[in-house]
Amino acid sequence: MIVFKKGEDFIPALKRYFQKHKIKSASFFGLGGFLKAELAFYDLKTRKYNEKKFDGPFEVPSLVGNLAQAEGKDFMHIHAVLGKKNFQAFGGHLLSATVGGTLELTILPEAGLSRKLDKGTGLRLLNI
């Protein structure tokens, strides 16, 4: 487990953790809060991500993702659900986020996850 503190830039901090511990492949899940976040939605027709920034604070009732290798480089795929104080929730592909009060993440190292470009979707999909 890893616990992120208020104000941390989540994705760069997670990358540093993986590098420090020499983790090249993992699944992870977590919960906590974000002060702000940027999410994306992949449009299969245009093969482009629609991106949007959100100012919080937000609860993070669910965050899931994985780390794999794509073309010899680390590739993280993260989705998050953000909850507002009026109990509305929305989610998508997490591009960036600043931790709110805390973010608790459970990391499960995996053996040899890799991604390969799928020409049909334009996405780098897990190659299992």
Domains defined for the chain, CATH in brackets: 2-126 (3.30.1330.80)
**Average pLDDT per 10 consecutive residues for the chain, totaling 128 residues:** 97 97 96 98 93 97 96 94 97 98 96 90 89
Nearest CA among 61, 62, 43, 54 for reference residue 98: 54
**Distance from C-alpha of 31 to C-alpha of 34, rounded to nearest angstrom:** 10
φ, ψ dihedrals at 19, nearest 5°: -65, -45
**Distance from C-alpha of 97 to C-alpha of 48, rounded to nearest angstrom:** 20
Establish whether the linkage from the previous residue to 57 is cis, with ω within 30° of 0.
yes
Q: State residue 128's pLDDT score.
A: 81
